[in-house]
A and B are shown apart, each in its own frame.
Chain A
Amino acid sequence: MNRTVLIIGIIIVAAIVFVLFAGLGNDPQHIDSPLIGKPAPPFALKSVNTGETIDLASLRGKPVIVNFWATWCVPCYEEHPTLVANARQLPNVQFIGVVFNDTEDKINRFLAERGSAYPTLLDANGKTAIAYGVGGVPETYFINSAGTIVAKFEGPLSTEQLQENLAKALR
């Protein structure tokens, strides 16, 4: 029995197996956000519905849900009715939609067809999205009344998922 081979072999096997087993639970598509627990990056963007500029800082004191989407994003279509319905039911929570790489025309047409219950802001060059670490659309950030990001959700939201993450912001 060659002890050296045995020991080195077992070490290598153990290392490989440990690493791979640990990786089994992962979802490789998910990106952890470094902003959770940190203050939400400030922005002030033009609202497409009303034309006025809305500043994130002005919304402090209420929990805020910032939903990044676009008219060229197919899953966003599914998510929209959920957001609108919840926005109407939760007047104490400020919903904000942020659209990037899109035109006002298309956005207005979308909202006219599908309804709108909260301001939709235009982030023309996508810089706000970058600052928030948005990878794809739709992505939703949950901010508490102190202005700290408490959760990030990737993909289209269902009502349960929305309530679950909102609960974190309400604590």
Chain B
Amino acid sequence: MTATFGRFLILASVLVSTTGAFIAYAAGAKRSPEGLKWSQRFAYAFAGLMVLATGVMEYALITHDFSVQYVAHVGSTQVPLWVTIVSLWSSLEGSILFWGFILGIYIAGTTWFNRNEHQEYMPFAIGTWLSCGAFFSFLIAGPANPFLSVNPAPLEGPGPNPLLQNHLLMIIHPPMLYLGYVGMTIPFGFAAAALLRGRLGQSFLRPLRASLLLPWVFLTIAIMLGGWWAYEVLGWGGYWAWDPVENASLLPWLTATAALHSAIVMERRGVLKGWTVTLIQASFLLTILGTFMTRSGVFNSVHSFTQSSIGPTILVFLTVILLFSVILLALRIDSLESEGRIESAVSREGMFLVNNLFFVVFTFTVLVGTVFPLVVEAIKGKQMSVGRPYFDAMVVPVGTALLFLLGVGPALPWGKVSRKEMLRALLPPLITGAVALIIGYAFGVRNAWTLVTLLFGGYAMHVTFAQMWLPLRQRLKKGDSFAPALIDAQLRRGRRRFGGYVVHAGAVIVFVAIAVSSTMRTQEEVTLTRGQSTAFAGYTVTFLGTEERTEPHRQSTIARFNIARNGQPVTTMEPRMNQYAAMREPIGTPAVHSTIGRDYYLSIMNIQGDQVGLLIINMPMVGWIWGAVLLMGAGGLIALIPARRRTYVVVPESAPTIDDEAIA
């Protein structure tokens, strides 16, 4: 019953989205307000069907209805409720349904938010969104159908992948990631609408930018959560391995960040419209590439879902939208003509251009490195690997260049400046940069890249605060008192600007923290018998003993350690070695003791009776990475809060009042 109902809902959504897409495109071509209304209705209908279908699936999961194939696949009466709820996205079919759910909400929300505006663009946008919706509905209805019936229904299920039941982060990382990925569909639709219409007006920039910024915030936080999860759960002491699926999440983030910056110049000077639109399209296309990489089984990755027939289908969709985007761009990019010019290449505008360049090179490098083994295998039939050493070597210089621009870009004024003004803008932050460098050196930093990062980072931080200070200083000069001036300048009127600089401040900390935690990291491998101690990085570690614990899906050996500093006990740490029934190799769970200055990380290498082989890692400033990324997200959210649009209309006292009737 439930399965049949679910299948019906999905088939209905295929129908609704396909019809809606046709109607919307027709409405756009004919500029029909009636057509727009119908497009909106179809958009809401599609969303409603997706939400309902997801609700039906969650209901089936929670009631353990094993006659539904997906529930039979990942459900289990033996797991806690939260695991049952999140198993919606734990396996392939359910995760595509989840994708459709989020897409529906985004489409409905954006349509409703813009229901009375931008009537020339919205039909094209809705048409594009519903076309994507149609594809995903088709996937859910066909190759990845979670609603198939199982007859006779089994009495029990295997539960989701045990690795996914390990940590609470599993609850929040995938939804955040989907909110980021799927959200890129919306600006893609807006960009397609602008191209189809043949123009990109100033008033359309606001929704275009907002629709890009919201998923960007989610994606930023999601990527960080992924790194944090790997760090806390996998036991190898790192947070980023340049795994193909990790790279797949980074690629759209890079192009979206570039697009956000490009949009600023577009707004100020009316240039770079073509570039901005291309970057927005690329962000969406890369999310589809990313989903292909994760689900096709082509790439060797920790994250890969099991192989299925879904790969070729996604690839066909990717090919179609790639061609659509390229052809649309080629046809219309010249009509998004440049309405402005820049006064000087050495100015803030010029720096935005260079910024775009480095982001594109960064994206290209990560993409090439990820797909290169495929290329070689296709051409020469031989297998080769492109791993961490390659990416670290190539990305560090590009990242450092971006950090440099983070400082120099906002320091330069807009437009043409005299040499004297330029020096006045560029030289003072060097002092802060030098101070940061000296502090780092005093703390023991000797690695050249890290020292350069500290120099550029200090510089950029100075510039960021100086820019934040600017509007506040103007108000203080006028005579306002401090607190109200602060709130007014930053949070009431200057949200976009302030939010942007908060993001920059967070980004600087992320750069520095990554550099420091990677290069100042020390580790030691030691074998301890029970009662034995070792001293490392300021702590004394004493092995207390082991404990065996058997759980339904895994067998764990827990090793207990006492951590002391100068004789005073600080904490106990309990890293584990887990043998899962479903996996060939054992997987360790590390224990992490985080303080503001550093993380003390214990991971078991091997354990036998009273002897344990222990890996101890001391990593400074790791906690700063997570916090700083959250700061970046907060900055994005601040910038997102819409300003009330102010339109000044000067009406003389004796003017007739404008009443709705007269206008209508």
**Direct A–B contact in complex, judged by CB atoms less than 8 Å apart:** yes
Total interface residues on B, CB under 8 Å, equals 33
A61 within 8 A of B: no
Nearest-neighbour CB distance to chain B for A6, whole angstroms, equals 4
The listed residue (B298, B327, B371) touching A26 by CB distance below 8 A is B298
- For the A-B complex, the count of residue pairs with Cβ-Cβ distances under 8 Å equals 81
- Chain A residues with CB under 8 A of B312: 24
Which residue of chain B lies nearest to A3 when distances are taken between CB atoms in the complex?
A: B330
A112 within 8 A of B: no
For residues 368 through 412 of chain B, which have their beta carbon under 8 Å from a beta carbon of chain A?
Answer: 371, 374-375, 377-378, 382-383
Taking beta carbons and an 8 Å cutoff, which residues of A are in contact with B?
A: 1-3, 5-6, 9-10, 12-13, 16-24, 26-29, 31-32, 73-75, 136
CA distance A12 to B374 in the complex (A): 16
CA distance A139 to B531 in the complex (A): 40
The listed residue (A10, A17, A18, A28) touching B304 by CB distance below 8 A is A28
Nearest-neighbour CB distance to chain A for B37, whole angstroms, equals 34
CA distance A26 to B311 in the complex (A): 12
For residues 36 through 87 of chain B, which have their beta carbon under 8 Å from a beta carbon of chain A?
Answer: none
B238 within 8 A of A: no
CA distance A72 to B334 in the complex (A): 65
- Chain A residues with CB under 8 A of B322: 13, 16-17
Nearest-neighbour CB distance to chain B for A86, whole angstroms, equals 24
B326 touches A19 (CB 8 A): no
B311 touches A22 (CB 8 A): no
Task: Please indicate which of the listed interface residues A3, A20, A29, A32 has the most CB atoms of chain B within 10 Å of its own CB.
Answer: A20
CA distance A1 to B323 in the complex (A): 15
B330 touches A21 (CB 8 A): no
Nearest-neighbour CB distance to chain B for A77, whole angstroms, equals 13
- Chain B residues with CB under 8 A of A1: 330-331
Nearest-neighbour CB distance to chain A for B502, whole angstroms, equals 35
B319 touches A19 (CB 8 A): no
Taking beta carbons and an 8 Å cutoff, which residues of B are in contact with A?
A: 289, 292, 296-301, 304, 311-312, 315, 318-319, 322-323, 325-327, 329-331, 333-334, 371, 374-375, 377-378, 382-383, 584-585
A19 touches B330 (CB 8 A): no
CA distance A27 to B312 in the complex (A): 14
A17 touches B330 (CB 8 A): no
Which residue of chain B lies nearest to A28 when distances are taken between CB atoms in the complex?
A: B300
A20 touches B331 (CB 8 A): no
B300 touches A19 (CB 8 A): no
A31 touches B327 (CB 8 A): no
- Chain B residues with CB under 8 A of A20: 292, 296, 298, 315, 318, 371, 374
CA distance A6 to B329 in the complex (A): 8
B334 touches A6 (CB 8 A): no
Nearest-neighbour CB distance to chain A for B286, whole angstroms, equals 10
The listed residue (A2, A6, A28, A73) touching B297 by CB distance below 8 A is A28
A24 touches B375 (CB 8 A): no
A73 touches B584 (CB 8 A): yes
Nearest-neighbour CB distance to chain B for A134, whole angstroms, equals 13
